[in-house]
Amino acid sequence: KMRRTAPRATLRKIIKKEKPQLRLAANTDLLSFLIYFNYIFFFPFLKVHLSFLLFLHRLAEEARTNAFLDKSKIIKPDHAIAAGKVI
């Protein structure tokens, strides 16, 4: 039986613990962090593919750049979506 995804509050708590300086909009964490944390916490026996991690890192960097260009201190879903279209 496959486990369910982690609740949003749990994901936000984990993200804040790991990256306290990171500010996220209400639902931005579900765009990419949900996939990443599901692999790490629910499937620890699987090795996360390096290209997948590099993709997530590049997506996060592009989203941060888009937020900076918008003069926003918060990475919003629109920033991540625009970054996904560029990559």
**What angle separates helix 8-18 from helix 29-37, to the nearest 10 degrees?**
80
Return d(Cα 41, Cα 77) in angstroms, integer.
Answer: 24
Report pLDDT digits (tens) over 23-68: 766 665 555 555 555 555 555 555 556 677 778 888 888 998 999 9
Q: Per residue in 14-29, pLDDT tens?
A: 777 777 777 766 665 5
CB of 45 within 8 A of CB of 3?
no
Q: Which domains does the chain have, with CATH numbers?
A: 8-86 (1.10.20)
H or E element that contains 19:
none
